[in-house]
Copies of this chain bind each other. A is one copy, B any other.
Amino acid sequence: MTANESRTDDGFPPTDHRACQGSAVTLDTAAVQRRLGRVPEWELRQGHLCRTFHCVTFRQSLALVEAIADIAEKLNHHPNLSWENKREVTVVLWTHKMDGLTGLDFDLAADIDTAYSALQVPV
């Protein structure tokens, strides 16, 4: 692995199975705050990383849900989500096995942000 292949703080490549292999590391408060600065649209709620996405249409919401599912499969890390009022998709992230936040949660958040931005052109 080259330096360019890694985007995480903790030295793991971004597509391995850190959580399921038990090799993920729960981030401490300082690390969480540092990571939050990189995904500023997300907020902490009861120790989980949350963001509500407001889509333009119902179909755009579906496209976002599908994109999130693809990312989740790629990272082997699956968020909880709710889809309400036709166009509001709320994503809740944490690492179940560690009962806390890990770098994987923030990787997933960043990828979801990218997918959402890509959908902002009308669909």
Binding site for B on A (CB under 8 A): 58-59, 62, 65-66, 69, 72-73, 78, 80-86
Contact = CB atoms under 8 A, between A and B. Distances in A.
Contacts of A65: 62, 65, 83
Number of copies: 2
B78 A86 contact: yes
B84 A83 contact: no
A8 B86 CA distance: 24
Nearest to A84: B80
A58 B69 contact: yes
Nearest to A72: B58
A81 B83 contact: yes
A58 B73 contact: yes
A123 B106 CA distance: 30
Nearest to A78: B86
21 contacts: A58-B69, A58-B72, A58-B73, A58-B78, A59-B73, A62-B65, A62-B66, A62-B69, A65-B65, A65-B83, A66-B66, A78-B86, A80-B82, A80-B83, A80-B84, A80-B85, A81-B82, A81-B83, A82-B82, A82-B83, A83-B83
